[in-house]
A and B are shown apart, each in its own frame.
Chain A
Amino acid sequence: MLLESVEYTRPRNLDEALRALASREGAAVLAGGQSLVNVLKNRVASVDLLVDVSRLDELRRIEVGADGGLEIGACVTYDELERSDDIRGAQPMLASAAGHIEDRQIRNRGTIGGNCCLSDPSNNLPPLLIALGATMNVQGPGGGRQVPAEDFFFGYFMPALEPGEILRSISIPPLADDAGVGYQALSVGHDSKAIVRAAAHVRGGDTIEDARVVLAVVGPRPVRHSAMEDLLNGAPASAETVERASEAIGDGDGLEPISDAHGSADYRRRVARVLARRAVYEAMMRGARS
């Protein structure tokens, strides 16, 4: 399909971009466009000005802090995430997850910021960023603010951005020496639309600490499963612990999976339990190896 009439501008820097965004109600940020252009083709959003930030250097940098923490510009592409030595070193699971987003063409254009700002509950990176304890650095006309990733994905296609604001970068704290990360997805086909995703982070040696278990495509937004986390924290690091903890996923735990062409709500809940278990186990194994 084709877009409605629209205007297009490519600002030279972030300030200009913010001014353009503030200039009218129907202004929207165009980054890689790998989702937004589809939204526009379907004419489901009313946008009359596209503010193309995809070439802004300020948004394209990957910086490593002295502590090993990362700050990733919102317009860093999936391909750059996958290939960046800094990211492979500090957050190998993020590099690996980026490498499984759809296909080469989409990875060359799609950006980490776009993946987040669409707030599509089936998107690849949000659950992982929550598990990694990421912070979203948001820039608005009146200055910057920080939003924990956990609070950023507000609902179906609703990121926690106010009109006129733009996601500038994403900060990811360093992984502790004894930390591990796991990421699991069940997709319709390989590297395609997800039916359920699960990401996990754990720490500790013989005893599990700092467990973060995030499930996605089981509701309007990716969510941490606190009941499962509670059962993990302080428990011995074993397959039995993980298995038992995953049983917390079930009826009445607050998940609101939908039924659609790719799976019923009940199936999604069952698969969520399996993937959560596998993700935590994977995190535990990786943590133990490091």
Chain B
Amino acid sequence: MSSVPVAQTTVESVEKPDRLGEWSGKSIPRKEDGRHLKGQALFTDDKWQHRMGYAHFVRSPHAHARIVSVDTSRAEALEGVFGTLTGDEVKDLSEPFFQIAPPPGGNLKEWCLAVGKVRYQGDAVAVVLAESREIARDAAELVEVEYEPLPAIVDGIAAADPDAPLLHDEVGSNIVWHGVYDYGDIDWALENADHVVKIDRLHFHRFSSTPLECNAAVVNWEQGTGVIEIFSNNQMPMFASLVIGPALGVPSNKIQFQSQDIGGAFGIKIGSYPQITALALLSKKLGRPAKWTEYRTDHMLSAGHGNERTFVDIQVPVMADGTILGVKVRAFDDAGAYLHYEPLGAVIWSQVVPGCYKIKHVQVDFTETVSNKCPTIPNRGYSRMQHLWLIERIVDVVATELGFDPVELRKHNYIQPEDYPYETPNACVYDSGDLPKALDLALGAVDYPAWLKRQEELGTGSGKRIGIGIGTTLDSGTNNFGQARIINPELPFSGNGEAAYAKLDLYGEVNLNLGTTPQGQGHETTAAQVVADILGMSPDDVNVTAGFDQRHNTYVAFSGTYASQFAVTGLGAAMGAAEKLRAEILKVAAYALEADEADLDLGGGQVFVRGDRERAIPFIGIANLVYSNNAVLSPELAGSVSLNCRHVYVPPFQVPDHEAKTGNLTLTYASQTHVCVLEIDEETGHVEILDYAVADDCGRVINPMIVDGQVHGATALGIGAALFETFEYDDEGQLMQSSFYDYHAITALDAPHIKTEHVQTPSPFTPNGAKGMGEGGGAPLHAVCAAIQNALDDGAPVVSESHNSWERIYRLINHEPNAPRGVEVVTR
């Protein structure tokens, strides 16, 4: 066999004084709750400015059409309308957005409003500003757009066909990115395996976590200062700024983002930069603040859907003992009409190439296409969950086809606790874990043996089937943005980081601000917990600035809240800033107490001499000396402390090898192991979930209650996606689920009670042992699909779709006797 790459990546373990413990690790109720519970939070639609107008976008009813003309005269004549903005104006006033893809995909031109053509149902052609929400909508209906419809392409694989209708002339085809990821020696593995399991096709569907608060922004291109003030719920404002600035020809110091409370985001709210750009132009043109609150229907049509991926020609070499040697597959990712954050999805999945298993030989031929559908945008579990679903489906299909027990097959192939740090075939380093233990805990929580017995007792003839499924998944967190170079070697991105700013305020209070834009993850609380531990005080006395304000929060280009990283990057930054502040406090205290710094300690908001708590100075005394009594300090001391401490946490990354497509792409690998027990009504395909358990491992836990909450949320969204939630287009490119009427967001009656178990394997690579978590890696999709498969008879087709409506399940159960199963085993 050819050689498997030897270790290419080294990650230094972090060894620092561990001051966490008194507050960190406890389920402290959240500091941010009070304002929410009293109805006093500040969401974007709550923001109001004098002279503000309300914006409404005019959207295309066609999936693909040439724009013949746009006539805004009737809209502008309506009383109460301030004005309009069209694609033609935008073309004159701004530049197309920066593209991540290299040419030819990177030749794609997108402005903030459609220019010349519309490319999906919901593509924005104009925007109206009026004195009320109602009049804005009235006026939008008066904008007359003449379209010349063009043939639409809605299938992401068919879009790659040279004869398919072309979306972007300047790209030359609908293929925007293609690359082959080739690790180990898949040909050797296929030749030498005892069995090769071949699966025809697996399709991961479009859905969205649909945050309950839609996108919104109040944008004011302030005429006096030339600053564009943006109050919005965009969750990655620095990325948005890097895209918006060049489009508008405005330097980044003239773009000021703000947010306070964000009503869920899940990745979807990365995608509001085109609308914000249009609002900026509208504000400038009309000399007024422009407020936009997206309607749910517009959100469903145009805010962005999660990545849809189709895997074909899947080949899995397996040894007689069940060892899975590798995977060979062709993958097609359908990005929709424009590239919003894409084609990063074409590399992000490779953070988890072998999933949770010691799979050594992997070849993925990856193609990303555009089609006449809503652009995709990162959605909780972004790009990894699609790949992990593939791997989990493979493991279960192998178990079913070759007669292995799915539990034993997993345990046999899992990366074992002693294997960490584990280097994957593409040189990622999994930091820590104990997957067999997590699986045992999850199985124990549902009483697996009892369900197996129940399944057997039920037998045939009852009209019901019980299925039990396992989904093991990784929540890779803290990206190395250098992976973007695997997509486009010219991109000047690598590493990651987050900033925090801690200060001792005038009367000795501690204040912390961060570059993050939390959406419910409790940053104000967990940051206060770690800072409190480091500064020897109560978290109640640490004020963490609510929300993000570019005018005074500190930040780096990577700032924001996305990609399961806060516990590492955000808390890493907070801890670093608190350590710096602690050092300054000690320095001043040593001077004031005439003691050696090494003899001092912090506690109860004071600095005291160890062993003599009477010799102490409270923080207010420290603040007094530095801020308002500094003549008593030595000039050296006065000149060397500010009690204002900024820290940027920088994770230990190197630049990946873009030719080999290898490198350490993420710092941490939290895991979740899900077990789902469900019952199917054979005659209708209807499913009830009977039992559900999750064992999670995110290393050291700072606030267990918050971690459990994230697990619950990711689980419900995943179950929703597996059974209810899907975006489907008809052949003409019309979206069939454009409101919560047809897009059935999982309700309290549909969601099961979720049992949680915990494994804690601290990460050796992070400042606090925590591993970022929250996205959850789509594990319920794996577990539900596995459970459905488990309920089917041996001759049934493979569960090949990630979304299974009642009808789809009905068809799987009531399959034709000789229906193609979509799977074949070749045994040597």
| A interface with B by C-beta (< 8 Å) | 1-5, 43, 186, 188-193, 195, 260-264, 267, 270-271, 274-275
- Mark B292-309 against chain A: 1 for CB-CB distance below 8 A, else 0: 000101000000000000
* CB-based nearest B residue for A102: B747
Cβ of B138 and Cβ of A267 under 8 Å apart?
A: no
Tell me whether A1 and B736 are in contact in the complex, defined as CB-CB below 8 angstroms, given that A190-B749, A191-B749, A195-B806 are known contacts.
no
18 A-B residue contacts at CB 8 Å?
A1-B137, A2-B137, A3-B134, A186-B806, A189-B724, A189-B744, A189-B746, A189-B747, A192-B744, A195-B806, A261-B728, A261-B742, A262-B742, A263-B805, A267-B807, A267-B810, A271-B810, A274-B683
Residues of chain B within 8 A (CB-CB) of A271 are: 683-684, 810
Within 8 A of A (CB), among B772-812: 805-807, 810-811
Q: Which among A5, A189, A271 has the greatest number of chain B C-beta atoms within 10 A?
A: A189
- Mark B133-147 against chain A: 1 for CB-CB distance below 8 A, else 0: 110011001000000
Q: Is B686 on the interface with A (CB-CB < 8 A)?
A: yes
Residues of chain A within 8 A (CB-CB) of B724 are: 188-189
* CB-based nearest B residue for A195: B806
Cβ of B744 and Cβ of A188 under 8 Å apart?
A: yes
* CB-based nearest B residue for A190: B749
Q: Is B10 on the interface with A (CB-CB < 8 A)?
A: no
Tell me whether A262 and B805 are in contact in the complex, defined as CB-CB below 8 angstroms, given that A1-B297, A189-B749, A190-B747 are known contacts.
yes
Give Cα A261–Cα B724 distance, bound, in whole angstroms: 11
Cβ of A263 and Cβ of B807 under 8 Å apart?
A: yes
Cβ of B747 and Cβ of A192 under 8 Å apart?
A: yes
> Taking the nearest CB of chain A, how far is it from the CB of B12, in angstroms?
49
Give Cα A136–Cα B805 distance, bound, in whole angstroms: 37
Cβ of B742 and Cβ of A189 under 8 Å apart?
A: no
Q: Is B601 on the interface with A (CB-CB < 8 A)?
A: no
Secondary structure call for the B interface:
loop
Residues of chain A within 8 A (CB-CB) of B141 are: 43
* CB-based nearest B residue for A275: B684
Known: A2-B137, A263-B805. 12 other contacts (CB 8 A): A1-B297, A3-B134, A5-B138, A186-B686, A186-B806, A189-B744, A189-B747, A192-B747, A260-B736, A261-B742, A267-B811, A274-B684
Secondary structure call for the A interface:
loop
> Taking the nearest CB of chain A, how far is it from the CB of B79, in angstroms?
12
> Taking the nearest CB of chain B, how far is it from the CB of A275, in angstroms?
8
The 8 Å CB contact of B742, one of A5, A193, A274, is: A193
Give Cα A58–Cα B346 distance, bound, in whole angstroms: 64
Give Cα A4–Cα B134 distance, bound, in whole angstroms: 8
Residues of chain A within 8 A (CB-CB) of B295 are: 1
Q: Is B413 on the interface with A (CB-CB < 8 A)?
A: no
> Taking the nearest CB of chain B, how far is it from the CB of A183, in angstroms?
15
Give Cα A262–Cα B805 distance, bound, in whole angstroms: 7
> Taking the nearest CB of chain A, how far is it from the CB of B720, in angstroms?
9
Q: Is B511 on the interface with A (CB-CB < 8 A)?
A: no
The 8 Å CB contact of B138, one of A4, A195, A261, is: A4
Residues of chain A within 8 A (CB-CB) of B737 are: 261
* CB-based nearest B residue for A188: B744
> Taking the nearest CB of chain A, how far is it from the CB of B270, in angstroms?
25
Residues of chain A within 8 A (CB-CB) of B138 are: 4-5
Give Cα A43–Cα B297 distance, bound, in whole angstroms: 13
Cβ of A186 and Cβ of B747 under 8 Å apart?
A: no
Q: Is B155 on the interface with A (CB-CB < 8 A)?
A: no
Cβ of B133 and Cβ of A2 under 8 Å apart?
A: yes
Residues of chain A within 8 A (CB-CB) of B45 are: none
Give Cα A193–Cα B724 distance, bound, in whole angstroms: 12
> Taking the nearest CB of chain A, how far is it from the CB of B665, in angstroms?
37
Give Cα A3–Cα B806 distance, bound, in whole angstroms: 35
Residues of chain B within 8 A (CB-CB) of A1 are: 137, 295, 297
Give Cα A189–Cα B297 distance, bound, in whole angstroms: 20
Give Cα A263–Cα B686 distance, bound, in whole angstroms: 12
Residues of chain B within 8 A (CB-CB) of A186 are: 684, 686, 806
Q: Is B750 on the interface with A (CB-CB < 8 A)?
A: yes
Tell me whether A193 and B750 are in contact in the complex, defined as CB-CB below 8 angstroms, given that A186-B806, A261-B737 are known contacts.
no
Within 8 A of A (CB), among B528-557: none
Q: Which among A186, A191, A275 has the greatest number of chain B C-beta atoms within 10 A?
A: A186
- Mark B612-642 against chain A: 1 for CB-CB distance below 8 A, else 0: 0000000000000000000000000000000
- Mark B728-752 against chain A: 1 for CB-CB distance below 8 A, else 0: 1000000011000110101101100
Residues of chain B within 8 A (CB-CB) of A274 are: 683-684
* CB-based nearest A residue for B742: A261
Give Cα A258–Cα B137 distance, bound, in whole angstroms: 32
Give Cα A281–Cα B737 distance, bound, in whole angstroms: 35
Give Cα A275–Cα B134 distance, bound, in whole angstroms: 44
Give Cα A186–Cα B685 distance, bound, in whole angstroms: 10
Give the 9 A-B CB pairs with smallest separation, nearest first.
A190-B749, A261-B736, A274-B683, A267-B807, A189-B750, A188-B744, A2-B134, A263-B807, A189-B744
* CB-based nearest B residue for A270: B810
Give Cα A5–Cα B747 distance, bound, in whole angstroms: 33
Give Cα A224–Cα B14 distance, bound, in whole angstroms: 73
Residues of chain A within 8 A (CB-CB) of B805 are: 262-263
Residues of chain A within 8 A (CB-CB) of B811 are: 267
Residues of chain B within 8 A (CB-CB) of A270 are: 810
> Taking the nearest CB of chain A, how far is it from the CB of B294, in angstroms?
11
* CB-based nearest A residue for B810: A267
Cβ of A263 and Cβ of B806 under 8 Å apart?
A: yes
Residues of chain B within 8 A (CB-CB) of A263 are: 805-807
Residues of chain A within 8 A (CB-CB) of B807 are: 262-264, 267
Give Cα A188–Cα B810 distance, bound, in whole angstroms: 14
> Taking the nearest CB of chain B, how far is it from the CB of A273, in angstroms?
9
* CB-based nearest A residue for B137: A2
Tell me whether A193 and B297 are in contact in the complex, defined as CB-CB below 8 angstroms, given that A261-B736, A267-B810 are known contacts.
no
Residues of chain B within 8 A (CB-CB) of A260 are: 736
> Taking the nearest CB of chain B, how far is it from the CB of A265, in angstroms?
11
* CB-based nearest B residue for A262: B805
Give Cα A267–Cα B813 distance, bound, in whole angstroms: 13
Cβ of A193 and Cβ of B744 under 8 Å apart?
A: yes
Give Cα A3–Cα B141 distance, bound, in whole angstroms: 12
